[in-house]
Structure 1
Amino acid sequence: MTRDTPRIRLSTLRHDVPASLVVFLVAVPLSLGIAMASGAPLISGLIAAVVGGIVGGTLGGSSVQVSGPAAGLSLVVVDLVHTYGWRATCMITLLAGAVQLVLGIFKAARAALAVSPAVIHGMLAAVGVIIALAQLHVVLGGTSQSSAIANLIELPGQIADLHGHKVAVGLLTIMVLALWTRLPGPVKSVPAPLAALLAAACTAWAFGWDVTRVDLSESVGEWAFPVLPQGDWHLVVAAVLLVALLAGCESLLCSVAADKMHGGKRADLDQELTGQGVANMVTGALGGLPVAGVIVRSTTNVRAGARTRCSTILHGVWVLVFALGFGWSIKLIPLEALAALLVFIGVQMVNLGHIKKVHGHGEVPVYLVTMAAVILLGLAEGVLAGLALAALLALRRLTWVTVLKREDSAGRLHVTISGSLTFLGVPRLTHELRAIPAGTDVGLDLNIDFMDNGAFEAIHTWRLDHERMGGSVHIDELHDEWYALAASGARMFPAKSPPKAPDRWWLPWAHRSRPSLPSIPPGDSSEPVECRLTVGAREYHQRTAPLVRPIFTELARRQQPSHLFITCADSRIVPSLITASGPGDLFTVRNIGNLVPRRGSEPHDDSMVAAIEYATQVLGVHTITVCGHSGCGAMAGLLSGGVQAGSLPGLRRWLRHGNHSLATFIEREGDRLHGGALDVLCRVNVQQQLENLRTYRKVDEQVRAGKLELVGLFFDIGSARVHMVPPLRPTSQASTRNAAQTGAVSRG
């Protein structure tokens, strides 16, 4: 015995025992009502509740799911009882359990989750409507008809011929069920179904109403072992499979839903299906209803505080004790009260929340078709109709084709076709392509992951016709060359192109394990760097060029950047990466130390002056950004007084443009010359270069007029973070506002 065993037992006593009692109080009336709706002996509902709790709870794969007779299967059971009789229906249940057991052993549980939830919800809603219409006649003192349509037609006459006491008991039950959830918390601790049946039974007994009583005595004495169904064995096999699949799907979906309600161990779906199979074999042999996971009882179990499967097992034990020791008390329950309980359950099975969920995914037609077909045709027919429609809609989505057209300034028409090109998309494809005027210069971009022969013939035929009429077609395939291969007569790929993994272009060469890039150890200069550049260019042509070609086609005529970006030549600074910018966004100037020589300073530097003039007066940029970085070698050279520049005369002359930064640093940060001085100077340098930009008359005029903003950035290489650097003096209201609102960077 482990040290944790007493703790586990205490937890069971504190949480699972009270939860099992709550579920027991819910299970008894529901089990009786479902047996009544199924046209089966009432004791069969209690047998199923006992077996579902003890056997299903012990062998199942979920720690909180509660199994028992399910309202969703009542429609199937009614038809089976009517066709083969009750004992043969029990044999069908037993055989269905064997099928579930085999499926669980072969780990087929996950396949059941492939069924569209819209079909399941539509089926359950239809079953709820059928149960409610059928039992409403019993509530009104009459008898239900053979079909939902017949019940609906007979309903006005039934209402006109009301039976006083029986109707009163039914209405009282429904009223208690409807109002119970609005009562204070301590009162609601009693389950609503139990409270409603108790209220109906006590009221009928107190006033001596003439109602129909529930009697289990005959059901207990009539038990016999199941017999094989007589009739067409094809139909028998279909019935077995229908019960097995419906009960299995409902159990697995309920198990998945129950996992979302608690934080314990997740369910083992294959074990759950195996446990359900054994439970159905046992309940079939004992004369019980088919067993499935029930969402109402499972939800009640979780909300009542259940922690382990002990709660589920104990609830089955309590049902067994009640049936053996207190079964006589059930005869006090009016049959009309059970019918009213079923009407209420049936209405609740039409869950508006499910409609909202499927509406968000465009599956309302599947829900409605399944629901209507089950009501009008039958359960199996309705489920098949729903599955067929769901498959058609899924196929339509997978083969949906989008065609986008746009004309550039040169009059060339760009057409982008996206999706999976199959024969199903040919009508739309040909309609869009034939609408292109004859003689047009067309750039056709194929952003597709599959093309069958029908789609290829449609595009190829249109291309030949369009070119024969004087137009031109330039085809660019952004992924695999489906069109080019088909045109050449090569064998096509057997399946759709798998989605490509994101191309991590921003990683350094040394961090990419691609065979196309030669691996050169750090410090090894035996192989020239041009090898990597050449391979990288080839990789660019293969992977990236097809994707960015439409963008560069637009940019080929002119550039219109919005920013002049001045930064250091340091190889670790990648402007497009740290600013999330793309081609055409930044007009970039890089030099040692991200320095901006002051106007008229020596040594004279026309390259920076030319870039500033061209950016502000020709390109019309709105922002000039100076971006420094941590650990800058140029600033380290300044701090060393030029010593670190060594025998590099050109570098020493260039660093003179940083003297103003060093002077500002000493003036403002003189007390920080030791410890972290380098990064402080790097930040001050950014501020000083913003000041240097103001020495250019055109820049200063545009800044004062609010037409140009000066922005300082600092890239901390170690943390890969970009920080805002405030200017030494305010520039304009616009730039101050921009600095205050910038949320993409941290303030430093």
Structure 2
Amino acid sequence: MTTQLESPRPARRGPGAPRWPKETFGADLGASLVVFLVAVPLCVGVAVASGVPVELGILTGIVGGLVVGLLPGSTMQVSGPAAGLTVLVASAVDQHGLAALGVIVLGSGLVQIVLGLSRLGTWFRAISPSVVQGMLAGIGLVLILGQIYPVGGLAQPESTWTKFAGIPDLLVTTVTSPAGRSGLLLAVLALVIMALWKKAPAQLRLVPGALLAVVATSAVAALFAMPVQKVEVGSLLSALNVPTAAAWGELATPAVLGSILTFALIASAESLFSAAAVDRMHDRPKTQYNKELVAQGAGNTICGLLGALPMTAVIVRSATNVQAGAKTKLSRILHGFWLLLFVMLLPGVLAFIPTAVLAALLIQAGWKLLELRQVVTLVREHRSEAFVLVLTAGTILATDLLIGTLTGLAVAIIKTAIDVSRLSVRAEHDDEHVRVELGGNATFLRLPRLLDHLEQLPTGKHVHLDLTTVRHLDRACYQAVEHWAAQRRRGNCTVEVALPARVG
């Protein structure tokens, strides 16, 4: 007698079953505390780098935890203000004012919701990896170039050119002024602590290196009364930047509409690329891209209503969440609750943090975005892909994020079109006949090469042109071949053309 064994089906959660089981609560609670400790300095640092009040950065982190954390889409991703958007935010605030920030963020959130409901989220995975890496590297370069100024106690210039041009004055100020020397010392100390902490035992590394660096350097600055600028913190409620009627009037201007689309596309791409990376780090349920895009849009819509910073899923916090042992969405929800509790009960603690230390955190984040080892590997193995990467990053540095990314995408598309249009031409000659066999893809991009080969064939011989092995023959090449064959026949030459089964 044989018995058939059925594969076990996952138990369905009944209406009375707990949403987050007791057996995973302890792991999620511990992970949420670790992610919270990582999120605090990053939320503050991103806000400072973006040129907005510190409270707006923390507010975005709270919404990312309590709102996006509850919505379907991803299990392990943690959302909040991202270092990669500081360039966009600073530019938007400079051009349109802080009052318009909420309108831009809200508009971008609505665009994300539409993209998700239209099931376009999965299409973001079709973007060339070299363009994505170039975009991140460009953001990293801009971030590093901008944050070296707060280290020296100076405000960062607006354009890339002025940032480069101001480096000599920055060096002089850093070396000669007490604030510059103190800021440099604290920034270097923070970077050294974070680098050495990676080599500490795993049990100790449960305390994030960024948090340890902030606490240690803030203590040094207070103990020695260093003359450095520190974070300015106010009430969370008083910092709300609810869009006014005048700000809503900006919605009709092309510049604001362009900013909305730019925010939406970049934030969506960063969130979904982060999802792809985080999904490889755990064995929990994988991200549902369209639902995640809707969740990010809902979070940005609420952030826009509050006038806060835009949010994305952030790889640093998400990776920390996985590494800290999170099991369910509860960990990222609780991290938002701890942020809210902290800013309500202990906001004065942030006033001890030197801005030079936050700049050091963002410089480290920018350095990670560069991923130089991968760039070197790409240069060695795929030079054309490396060219797209370097071009994208360089254009972002020279112009802005949108132009640089679009340039990279355009070049990647052209490169792909050339790669898939490879055409082989093989000719066999004898006394009276010439047999020409084509292979690959005959598209208009290879039309000049095809015509060169055909026009060089000797006259007076019978030509057999075999295109049956061509995978794709577009209309341009088909018409060119037919025109060439007709010309030959008018010159009393015999030509046979064997066409593929299908002409595109």
User: What is the TM-score with the length of structure 2 in the denominator?
Assistant: 0.88
Contact conserved, 1:439 with 1:466, CA < 8 A, in 2?
Answer: no
Once the two structures are TM-superposed, the CA of residue 473 in structure 1 deviates from its matched residue by 4.3
Could you say if the C-alpha distance between residues 8 and 57 of structure 1 is closer, same or farther in structure 2, counting changes exceeding 3 Å? closer
The aligned counterpart of 1:294 is 314
1:83 aligns with 2:95: yes
Could you say if the C-alpha distance between residues 466 and 20 of structure 1 is closer, same or farther in structure 2, counting changes exceeding 3 Å? same
Contact conserved, 2:429 with 2:435, CA < 8 A, in 1?
Answer: yes
The aligned counterpart of 1:100 is 112
Q: Letter of the 1:389 partner, please give it.
A: V
How many Å separate the matches in 1 of 2:196 and 2:67? 35
Structure (1 or 2) with the larger CA radius of gyration: 1
Could you say if the C-alpha distance between residues 2 and 465 of structure 1 is closer, same or farther in structure 2, counting changes exceeding 3 Å? closer
Which residue, 142, 152, 167 being the options, matches 2:184? 167
Could you say if the C-alpha distance between residues 83 and 230 of structure 1 is closer, same or farther in structure 2, counting changes exceeding 3 Å? farther
The aligned counterpart of 1:744 is none
Q: Letter of the 2:91 partner, please give it.
A: D
Contact conserved, 2:150 with 2:359, CA < 8 A, in 1?
Answer: yes
Could you say if the C-alpha distance between residues 481 and 343 of structure 1 is closer, same or farther in structure 2, counting changes exceeding 3 Å? closer
How many Å separate the matches in 2 of 1:172 and 1:346? 17
Q: Letter of the 1:480 partner, please give it.
A: A
Q: For residue 444 of structure 1, give the secondary structure of its aligned residue in structure 2.
A: strand
Q: Letter of the 1:208 partner, please give it.
A: A
The aligned counterpart of 1:186 is 203
Alignment of 1:262-277 (within 5 A): 262-277=282-297
Could you say if the C-alpha distance between residues 61 and 367 of structure 1 is closer, same or farther in structure 2, counting changes exceeding 3 Å? same
Contact conserved, 2:426 with 2:438, CA < 8 A, in 1?
Answer: no
How many Å separate the matches in 2 of 1:415 and 1:175? 66
Q: For residue 295 of structure 2, give the secondary structure of its aligned residue in structure 1.
A: helix
1:203 aligns with 2:220: yes
Cα RMSD after superposing both structures: 2.7
Alignment of 1:347-358 (within 5 A): 347-352=367-372, 355=375, 356=377
Contact conserved, 2:68 with 2:296, CA < 8 A, in 1?
Answer: yes
The aligned counterpart of 1:320 is 340
CA offsets per residue over residues 534-581 of structure 1, 9 Å max, x none? xxxxxxxxxxxxxxxxxxxxxxxxxxxxxxxxxxxxxxxxxxxxxxxx
Contact conserved, 2:102 with 2:241, CA < 8 A, in 1?
Answer: no
Q: Letter of the 1:211 partner, please give it.
A: V
Once the two structures are TM-superposed, the CA of residue 30 in structure 1 deviates from its matched residue by 1.0
Once the two structures are TM-superposed, the CA of residue 374 in structure 1 deviates from its matched residue by 1.5
The aligned counterpart of 2:400 is 378
Once the two structures are TM-superposed, the CA of residue 7 in structure 1 deviates from its matched residue by 11
CA offsets per residue over residues 625-654 of structure 1, 9 Å max, x none? xxxxxxxxxxxxxxxxxxxxxxxxxxxxxx
Which residue, 415, 439, 449 being the options, matches 1:418? 439
Could you say if the C-alpha distance between residues 61 and 459 of structure 1 is closer, same or farther in structure 2, counting changes exceeding 3 Å? same
How many Å separate the matches in 2 of 1:6 and 1:99? 34
Once the two structures are TM-superposed, the CA of residue 229 in structure 1 deviates from its matched residue by 4.8
- How many residues align? The count is 481
1:214 aligns with 2:231: yes
Once the two structures are TM-superposed, the CA of residue 8 in structure 1 deviates from its matched residue by 5.1
The aligned counterpart of 2:85 is 73
Could you say if the C-alpha distance between residues 148 and 178 of structure 1 is closer, same or farther in structure 2, counting changes exceeding 3 Å? farther
Could you say if the C-alpha distance between residues 342 and 220 of structure 1 is closer, same or farther in structure 2, counting changes exceeding 3 Å? farther
CA offsets per residue over residues 678-730 of structure 1, 9 Å max, x none? xxxxxxxxxxxxxxxxxxxxxxxxxxxxxxxxxxxxxxxxxxxxxxxxxxxxx
Contact conserved, 1:229 with 1:236, CA < 8 A, in 2?
Answer: no
Once the two structures are TM-superposed, the CA of residue 327 in structure 1 deviates from its matched residue by 1.6
Once the two structures are TM-superposed, the CA of residue 169 in structure 1 deviates from its matched residue by 1.0
* Range 220-229 or range 301-310, more displaced: 220-229
Alignment of 1:547-562 (within 5 A): none
Q: Letter of the 1:244 partner, please give it.
A: A
Q: Letter of the 2:214 partner, please give it.
A: L
Query: Whose helix proportion is higher, 1 or 2?
Result: 2
Once the two structures are TM-superposed, the CA of residue 454 in structure 1 deviates from its matched residue by 2.8
Unaligned 5+ runs, structure 2: 1-12, 175-179
* Range 114-123 or range 186-195, more displaced: 114-123
How many Å separate the matches in 2 of 1:11 and 1:433? 74
The aligned counterpart of 2:9 is none
CA offsets per residue over residues 512-551 of structure 1, 9 Å max, x none? xxxxxxxxxxxxxxxxxxxxxxxxxxxxxxxxxxxxxxxx
CA offsets per residue over residues 140-197 of structure 1, 9 Å max, x none? 2222111222112211221123222122111111222222212333332221211111
Once the two structures are TM-superposed, the CA of residue 279 in structure 1 deviates from its matched residue by 0.7
The aligned counterpart of 2:465 is 444
1:392 aligns with 2:414: yes
Once the two structures are TM-superposed, the CA of residue 87 in structure 1 deviates from its matched residue by 2.4
Contact conserved, 1:61 with 1:272, CA < 8 A, in 2?
Answer: yes
CA offsets per residue over residues 188-238 of structure 1, 9 Å max, x none? 222121111112111112222221111212665343422225556222222
1:454 aligns with 2:454: no
Once the two structures are TM-superposed, the CA of residue 261 in structure 1 deviates from its matched residue by 1.7
How many Å separate the matches in 2 of 1:201 and 1:410? 88
CA offsets per residue over residues 334-357 of structure 1, 9 Å max, x none? 111111111111121112355346
How many Å separate the matches in 1 of 2:391 and 2:148? 24
How many Å separate the matches in 2 of 1:238 and 1:6? 45
Unaligned 5+ runs, structure 1: 483-495, 497-748
The aligned counterpart of 1:535 is none
Q: Letter of the 2:206 partner, please give it.
A: S
CA offsets per residue over residues 267-324 of structure 1, 9 Å max, x none? 2212111111111111222232101111111111112222211111111111111111
Contact conserved, 2:20 with 2:328, CA < 8 A, in 1?
Answer: no
Percent of aligned pairs sharing the same letter: 34
Alignment of 1:631-710 (within 5 A): none
* Range 30-39 or range 348-357, more displaced: 348-357
User: What is the TM-score with the length of structure 1 in the denominator?
Assistant: 0.60
Which residue, 279, 293, 306 being the options, matches 2:299? 279
Once the two structures are TM-superposed, the CA of residue 93 in structure 1 deviates from its matched residue by 0.7
